[in-house]
Structure 1
């Protein structure tokens, strides 16, 4: 179990910092107070069993971590090792089936563990030779990774030859035999052959076959937790559910002086609400000065009250209907009314009307008319919201003369406050075709201008077909774009740059607790390219400007992965599911290596309620015509092209139930299927959020499943929690022809139960077709666009690793504009010279770099520092702290406007 936090922390909720740091940093913390002066012999021998168990789960402890673990006492090693394995199993979703291999570890006979580890690692290296060296991180058949004799740890011959003194294992210190390798360790014949010719392609090892380095945390858990807390608070993009859970737990563990820890700016308003709610819970009314300083809009106050009442501060209608607001003491009510009263009357009235139902409930809590004379603007805004009869309230001087721009109108013989809001004015102007008038209104609000660019240009094209952009649009954009967040900016960029046709289907994602999508045909006027091109060019120039402004030091080299062209920019993160790998919705990625895939589903039903979940696969041809299914009604499809493990109709606690479907890609194609859609149904219509535990995912089938388990921890590639008030989930779409999958993470509407592919097949086909069209790379902004904008400012060179593993180089000429270079890089036009033939680590060694990769499958180059974005873990994760890790949201946040 994790050690207790220092006394400076106020622990109020259960936070397993070990699991937290394993998930976010792939690192393990070892308390220096537990370390012995030297390695314990019994712990060294017990570590062999831990090595084997970690390899079964796809992890390889680095030399530094192993050296620290060897200095633990045997009982402490058993405690830490058991907790580490349990955390990994829980992270991968295999803890429900896990049974320890060594029940008495580490007290069992160590020779038995050594024999088991040696056999397991030999079989592992024989079937998957592209493993990293535990010391230098290099990998590949040409490196000659081998198993050392007698300890069976992974090492390359170069690291063995570089040792001083008698040969020994750098991981455990064991003296090596005369023949130092049990298996492998010899240079392959490729080293003795002629050097490769220019232009020869170096094959890229399949993704997922490499052990993930498990690092030693180079700081104490408290410091790491505070660093993560600061990073989450200062992130400029919305947090996904997993990050929000982490933030809430870290805030609850923060030191007593929480106000001093809060950064000067918390960019995301929902994040700010969570932090201020924790501060309010701790300090009560004494937190009012901090609240008054940081609450800058009425909606900020509303989010704070929501978070203070234990709800997500997203202000969704479904949450509002169920939420019971927490009562506030009188001084705090007066303080919040004072915050509202200090806001401009026009913005206060608009913010209250934007969230009418929640504010009506908050009005019952704040009692604004009790202090109408002291806070007249707040009282007038609530009177406008409620439609208060002023004739009945004339005795209150606070409502007699409302602040401008509120005005008094007589409605049905009664005097009431009135105000025409910003949104109503813009909509009325666009409805009558007054694009210049709408532009004049929108110019005062940069975010709204960017969000409505497509609508504005469409109205302009209707009223003046073939005319140039509206007068003043260029100047308005020049003023507005520097102040707009990266989300609206990238959304408008993707919407306007792609080709559009009349009658095309559009996909809509309404705000909600679950991720729903609706498609419909759009018969509106198409915005011609000549009209949208200047706007797209202005947005591209702004993205390039921001990329340069947010670089503290320009990198000397950039390495990009062409596979990022299929990675969509994150959006609607608030409704994203918690997943093992945080893939943005709509991204298209390669399937795990091999010709087969295993889909899995596990759930546990509540006490005294039966829940029947069903894992199903719907099969379609290239035109989205049904080709069949594999579900509880049809356990096999074709000649065992898809095989279902069997239907469980209940999942009683504590073990629950699991279902599997195996897909054979070649056999499915032979049967006429192009797309295989994974679907999870709640047959008896119980929402997913009522289940104690429910998750789904997929795993590769490489023929290595220890102990005959149907789900190997090392084979798991993705795990996703089933959450929300939904009954039908569509996690992914498999393209059998391209050997790629699209991560959808969507739900469809469903009622009355008895759900199956036969009932929802047409709806699923329409949804999936719309998703693939909607997220086409030329119609949406991608992480490739963001990475190219950042890499274009590299002072040296940009290396691009293609889908086939070929590496090409782009250099910016001295007289070439940054915009032209970025465009050439984004379109992958005119590379400089032939493909790069040298090893990438040598090209990156000792340089400041910006890396944006799909897989961190490179060994750690010595002296590398800079920034790294990667989707899948790999040997590069063992890099020192000088290589700053970026999540997808962090990469997008580099395009945030200057504060």
Structure 2
């Protein structure tokens, strides 16, 4: 349903085409239902719903409420193992002893406390065998009855929904933004792009599709529906397309099992290959990088049957090793091996993006006599590379004045590992020179706003969204390295999962680190209490869904609070029917059920590779507590992962990320200050139209204003 997708993605309510009438009662019900979920409808939305007939009004209201409840995780029931959580949670060993005593009594025996504790200490007890361990002992309704009504507070989240255009217009706008964006989309948004590509196939199309994975999604739809392909200009574009329509990975990071292609599809793919190679034979140089997928694809396309496209057959000859073609990277590497970094830079000048990604290495390897030539080549490439590459290089250069304590690598699947930083720092004068050149090029590419800039200060600490693959989908989810203030006096983490076909046990844990990133304590299923931090109890089976909570008072000792989700047993994050992580903030006197949508500050999916999820870290600094997004996954063990076994690896990754200086929205705003008027949003309506940049759109901007909120920040990355 397009309407629900649009609300979820843009927080805009599409205009209904339903019959007019008196929908005022429905509008009042909608307003109340949204407030319960921490949302509010703008006056325009309520007026629109109120002007519809009751039937269409109810349909629209139901769609909106369903969409926002799913956004914050309120579409499922979040039960807690201990019905009184956060109160009445027993000591861990006392609880285990009680479960063991219940098992002994059920067998007709008896044992003293000393005997039971001694037995627990031997490690020979399977907790899953104890009566009532790991499964809910009460219903969700009983949990509700055991808690007082939620106490609302002025600081609770309230997210405003705005009225949009028709569903078709909103879908087209979103489609053009996603397809034509300069930033690669994450998995969730790529799926949305695929849906929109079908719905918008006959409408307006983006002028350019700069990201090649986006091209694969669009062309996958076009290939299946018999439409001409667009923007296919390399052999790898064809390979990505074949992976996409086979249900595989268009990024080529993981192997794809190619499906059988219809004869018409084979003709389209082979003709595209023929035209690409005929126009530029050098593009055969990319084939060897993906030789195995090409060989497997050749078995499906049967190129030998199509004599009219001889250049297509050359692609598969290169893949099989029957013809050798040296690519740019190979020629550059040969120059590096002879000590000619300047010649390597000259070779890579034909591929500006590749040259800029190699700039650090070439500058480190270049002798003093060659360094000026490398800098000149890099400078010449700045005008031809994408804005995203320029911003990435600017961030990288800003972190190269000194070695870091640990160098963290994160791949497209958000898997992270840490290594020693053995690179010598770049000279300070070189860093300053490159930074100034990059600043000038990036600033020159920023579009000139039609109106003065009005900036929400909360957006300044958001890291530039240079890749959607470095973040999960969800609600109020920010790019890796972004910081957000944490209000309130109490943090409450929650994780929810629902298994598909076998018993699955996820464990929510918290690791506390001191100023030097040393362990200061932990709370998990093995330790329910520490310094005021409380665990809600261990759930070990989730056929109907399960939730675990951890409360962290913001008076806790330690500098860093690191929530984590461990797969102890069962299905991976990619295999379960549903999994999520989120956090709530509350005041000390706020009570109610463990989960209340009005206090949810952010909720993210958990769909990465690995057996341990590190969604974010909370850091205490001069400005109070801040949430810092990690979006990382650790490999872990196949089963039985515990926080006790990963203290050092977790601390290393947290330290590497916290010490890195990320390029944020404040950087772009500073580039704009030299060209246009920039003011800070203080809640008061401006006198005239503005270009507003913030996390959420306010409700009192003048007509004609342009609004860039969280879902549109990628559009501000220079082209």
Residue aligning to 1:806: none
- Cα 1:251–1:351, aligned 2, differ >3 Å: closer, same or farther? same
CA contact (8 A) 2:400 2:425 kept: no
Query: Displacement, 1:468?
Result: 8.4
Query: Displacement, 1:506?
Result: 1.8
Aligned counterparts of 2:374 and 2:184: Cα–Cα separation in 1: 32
Describe how 1:161-176 pairs up with structure 2 within 5 A.
Answer: none
Describe how 1:751-762 pairs up with structure 2 within 5 A.
Answer: 751-762=637-648
Query: Displacement, 1:488?
Result: 1.5
Q: Does 1:228 align with 2:129?
A: no
Residue aligning to 2:480: 585
- Encode CA deviations 1:728-761: one digit per residue, 9 max, x unaligned: 1001111134411210010011123111111111
Aligned counterparts of 2:702 and 2:184: Cα–Cα separation in 1: 35
- Encode CA deviations 1:687-709: one digit per residue, 9 max, x unaligned: 11110111111111247979x43
Q: Secondary structure at the match of 2:444?
A: helix
Describe how 1:75-154 pairs up with structure 2 within 5 A.
Answer: 76-97=56-77, 127-128=153-154
Residue aligning to 1:831: none
Residue aligning to 2:519: 626
- Encode CA deviations 1:84-125: one digit per residue, 9 max, x unaligned: 3222211211111299xxxxxxxxxxxxxxxxxxxx99x85x
Describe how 1:779-818 pairs up with structure 2 within 5 A.
Answer: 780-794=662-676, 797-800=677-680
Q: Does 1:420 align with 2:326?
A: yes
Aligned counterparts of 1:572 and 1:24: Cα–Cα separation in 2: 17
Residue aligning to 2:505: 612
Aligned counterparts of 1:840 and 1:716: Cα–Cα separation in 2: 22
Query: Displacement, 1:53?
Result: 2.2
Q: Does 1:600 align with 2:488?
A: no
Q: Which moved more, 1:748-757 or 1:304-313?
A: 304-313
Alignment partner for residue 355 of structure 1, among 290, 310, 313?
290
Aligned counterparts of 2:338 and 2:635: Cα–Cα separation in 1: 35
Aligned counterparts of 1:799 and 1:246: Cα–Cα separation in 2: 35
- Encode CA deviations 1:803-826: one digit per residue, 9 max, x unaligned: xxxxxxxxxxxxxxxxxxxxxxxx
CA contact (8 A) 2:341 2:370 kept: no
Aligned counterparts of 2:509 and 2:642: Cα–Cα separation in 1: 8
- Cα 1:224–1:870, aligned 2, differ >3 Å: closer, same or farther? closer
CA contact (8 A) 2:406 2:652 kept: no
Q: Does 1:658 align with 2:658?
A: no
- Cα 1:48–1:544, aligned 2, differ >3 Å: closer, same or farther? closer
Residue aligning to 1:538: 437
- Cα 1:866–1:456, aligned 2, differ >3 Å: closer, same or farther? farther
Alignment partner for residue 561 of structure 2, among 670, 676, 681?
676
Query: Displacement, 1:521?
Result: 1.5
Query: Displacement, 1:650?
Result: 0.3
Aligned counterparts of 2:182 and 2:409: Cα–Cα separation in 1: 24
Describe how 1:283-432 pairs up with structure 2 within 5 A.
Answer: 283=226, 287=227, 290-291=228-229, 294-316=231-253, 318-320=254-256, 322-324=257-259, 326-329=261-264, 331-332=267-268, 334-348=270-284, 350-371=285-306, 374-388=308-322, 417-432=323-338
Aligned counterparts of 2:51 and 2:688: Cα–Cα separation in 1: 32
Aligned counterparts of 1:851 and 1:30: Cα–Cα separation in 2: 23
Q: Does 1:215 align with 2:162?
A: yes
Residue aligning to 1:262: 205
Aligned counterparts of 2:181 and 2:259: Cα–Cα separation in 1: 30
Alignment partner for residue 435 of structure 1, among 337, 341, 353?
341
Query: Displacement, 1:252?
Result: 2.5
Aligned counterparts of 1:719 and 1:449: Cα–Cα separation in 2: 38
- Cα 1:210–1:637, aligned 2, differ >3 Å: closer, same or farther? closer
CA contact (8 A) 1:694 1:721 kept: yes
- Encode CA deviations 1:168-193: one digit per residue, 9 max, x unaligned: xxxxxxxxxxxxxxxxxxxxxxxxxx
Q: Does 1:694 align with 2:579?
A: yes
Aligned counterparts of 1:47 and 1:850: Cα–Cα separation in 2: 30
Aligned counterparts of 1:510 and 1:862: Cα–Cα separation in 2: 43
Aligned counterparts of 1:559 and 1:333: Cα–Cα separation in 2: 48
Decide which structure has the larger Cα Rg and report it: 1
- Encode CA deviations 1:212-264: one digit per residue, 9 max, x unaligned: 333333x3212221222222222122122232121111122235xx3x64333
Q: Does 1:567 align with 2:462?
A: yes
Aligned counterparts of 1:694 and 1:433: Cα–Cα separation in 2: 51
CA contact (8 A) 2:415 2:610 kept: no
Q: What TM-score results when the alignment is normalised by the length of structure 1?
A: 0.68
Q: Does 1:860 align with 2:676?
A: no
Residue aligning to 2:124: none
Query: Displacement, 1:272?
Result: 1.3
Residue aligning to 2:611: 727
Q: Does 1:486 align with 2:387?
A: yes
Aligned counterparts of 2:6 and 2:695: Cα–Cα separation in 1: 22
Q: Secondary structure at the match of 1:418?
A: coil
Query: Displacement, 1:495?
Result: 1.5
Greater RCO (CA < 8 Å, at least 6 residues apart): 2
Q: What TM-score results when the alignment is normalised by the length of structure 2?
A: 0.84
CA contact (8 A) 1:469 1:531 kept: no
Residue aligning to 2:528: 635
CA contact (8 A) 2:69 2:75 kept: yes
Residue aligning to 2:684: 841
Alignment partner for residue 771 of structure 1, among 657, 660, 675?
657
CA contact (8 A) 2:609 2:633 kept: no
Q: Does 1:273 align with 2:228?
A: no
Describe how 1:476-515 pairs up with structure 2 within 5 A.
Answer: 476-502=377-403, 504-511=405-412, 514-515=413-414
Q: Secondary structure at the match of 1:361?
A: helix
Q: Secondary structure at the match of 2:394?
A: helix
Aligned counterparts of 2:569 and 2:339: Cα–Cα separation in 1: 50
- Cα 1:544–1:52, aligned 2, differ >3 Å: closer, same or farther? same
Alignment partner for residue 890 of structure 1, among 712, 715, 718?
715
CA contact (8 A) 2:277 2:283 kept: no
Residue aligning to 1:64: 44
Residue aligning to 2:94: none
Aligned counterparts of 2:31 and 2:204: Cα–Cα separation in 1: 39
Alignment partner for residue 471 of structure 2, among 576, 587, 590?
576
- Encode CA deviations 1:517-544: one digit per residue, 9 max, x unaligned: 2221122332101223222221111112
Aligned counterparts of 2:260 and 2:205: Cα–Cα separation in 1: 25
Q: Secondary structure at the match of 2:694?
A: strand
Alignment partner for residue 869 of structure 1, among 689, 708, 711?
708
CA contact (8 A) 2:71 2:474 kept: no
Query: Displacement, 1:364?
Result: 1.6
Query: Displacement, 1:587?
Result: 1.1
Aligned counterparts of 1:624 and 1:313: Cα–Cα separation in 2: 38
Unaligned runs of 5+ in 2: 80-148
Query: Displacement, 1:509?
Result: 1.9
Q: Secondary structure at the match of 1:356?
A: helix
Q: Secondary structure at the match of 2:569?
A: coil
CA contact (8 A) 1:841 1:859 kept: no
Residue aligning to 1:829: none
RMSD: 2.7
Aligned counterparts of 1:715 and 1:772: Cα–Cα separation in 2: 26
Query: Displacement, 1:310?
Result: 2.3
Aligned counterparts of 1:523 and 1:31: Cα–Cα separation in 2: 60
CA contact (8 A) 1:681 1:729 kept: yes
CA contact (8 A) 2:505 2:568 kept: yes
Query: Displacement, 1:31?
Result: 2.7
Q: Does 1:35 align with 2:15?
A: no
Query: Displacement, 1:714?
Result: 1.2
Q: Which moved more, 1:225-234 or 1:696-705?
A: 696-705
